[in-house]
Structure 1
Amino acid sequence: MRKVKWAAAAAGVVLLAAGCASEGGSDEDKGGQSPTAGSPAPAAASGAPGGGTVDAAAVKGQIEAAATSAGFTEQPGNDVPANLKSCMVSWTADAKKASDSRRSYDATVATLAKDGWKEIRAVDQPAAVVKSLDRGGWTLKASHQGKAGALLVVSFIATETSATCAKAFQEDLAKKQQ
């Protein structure tokens, strides 16, 4: 089951990374939101020398700090495969321990936005909310799916969007499909 989960996640990431790397045009052309006049620019990337691309450890730290300050604790057992650790961060909340998982999810996303993550897409339905955020060469999928008392999953999965990582995801997916 875990293999299937990673294969599905990797497939989605490959499509996401490939789409981000190959599409031209403005954010509006891609279905995203372009900044409005007077809106603050994202904060300078941290976690890498000279403010360059953020590394996986910095991204994990940002997610963890935002989520724990909102009342979440990390659910154990969501390790990223060794060959993808520099390209992917997976942080799943133990949502059953949060007093109000949706409020904690919203607070986590708000904190990430204050830290320079720019929301580019959002899907908000009664049983599922998924927001895509970008920062420093990374895309973060923040999702809250299900209801308390039933199946409830709150996760934050970030992927680096470089060509090197897209290749690593494709290789990992091909290996898992064999």
Structure 2
Amino acid sequence: MRKAKWAAAAAGVVLLVAGCGSKGGTDQGKGADAPTSGSSAPASSPAAGKDSGGALDAAAVKKEIDAAATGAGYAEKPGDDVPANLKSCMVSWVADAKKATDSKKSYDDTVAALAKGGWKESRTFDQQGSVIKSLDKSGWTVKASHAGKAGALLVVQFVATDNGPTCAKAFQEDLAKNKQ
């Protein structure tokens, strides 16, 4: 059951990273020349890491998300671990939104802190109380989402994926394996 949940999450992230599911969103006014989140340089390319001085890996991405989110007032909520075969390709950080004084402000502050750290906002989906922002850096994409309302079901999470071909293959293999 847990593997199926991760397969569904990975599929959703891969689709979002590829640019699907952006209906109703904006491309932040960047025009037709703006790259989609799926066209970022892979982490192993020479262009990767030019924003941060070196290629990012999952540990570095996790550290950046953790620093931004905890600095904004969130605590990390224990959750399911990323499957072993995807640990180098994916980071999942779920906020314990109930512990934040103002969850929406903490979300906005987290996104702003990531932007100050070199993450470039490429896409926003904002509809009916749910916000998903795509932020790109060094071949990685973070999907920052704030869905729901305080007092009801509220989910705040930051899921990062490596957009390189090695990780794309790993996600596809994981999905195929878990379809059975």
User: Normalized against structure 1, the TM-score is what?
Assistant: 0.81
Q: 2: distance between equivalents of 1:122 and 1:105?
A: 14
Aligned to 2:6: 6
SS at match of 2:145: strand
Q: CA deviation at 1:8?
A: 1.2
Q: For residues 121 and 17 of structure 1, do their structure 2 counterparts lie closer, same or farther at Cα, with a shift above 3 Å needed?
A: closer
Contact 2:133 2:144 in 1 (8 A): yes
Q: 1: distance between equivalents of 2:139 and 2:121?
A: 14
Aligned to 1:111: 113
Q: For residues 156 and 31 of structure 1, do their structure 2 counterparts lie closer, same or farther at Cα, with a shift above 3 Å needed?
A: closer
Contact 2:124 2:133 in 1 (8 A): yes
Q: What percentage of residue pairs aligned between the two structures are identical?
A: 71
Aligned to 2:151: 149
SS at match of 1:124: strand
Contact 1:78 1:92 in 2 (8 A): no
Q: For residues 88 and 119 of structure 1, do their structure 2 counterparts lie closer, same or farther at Cα, with a shift above 3 Å needed?
A: same
User: Which 4+ runs in 1 deviate beyond 4 A?
Assistant: 16-20, 29-32
User: Normalized against structure 2, the TM-score is what?
Assistant: 0.80
Deviations along 1:56-104, whole A, 9 cap, x unmatched?
0000000000000000000002311111000000000000110110000
Deviations along 1:130-154, whole A, 9 cap, x unmatched?
0001000101100000011111000
What's the C-alpha RMSD, in Å, of the aligned pairs?
2.3
Contact 1:72 1:104 in 2 (8 A): yes
Q: For residues 69 and 31 of structure 1, do their structure 2 counterparts lie closer, same or farther at Cα, with a shift above 3 Å needed?
A: closer
SS at match of 1:5: helix
Q: Which runs of 5+ in 2 are unaligned?
A: 21-31, 39-48
Aligned to 1:127: 129
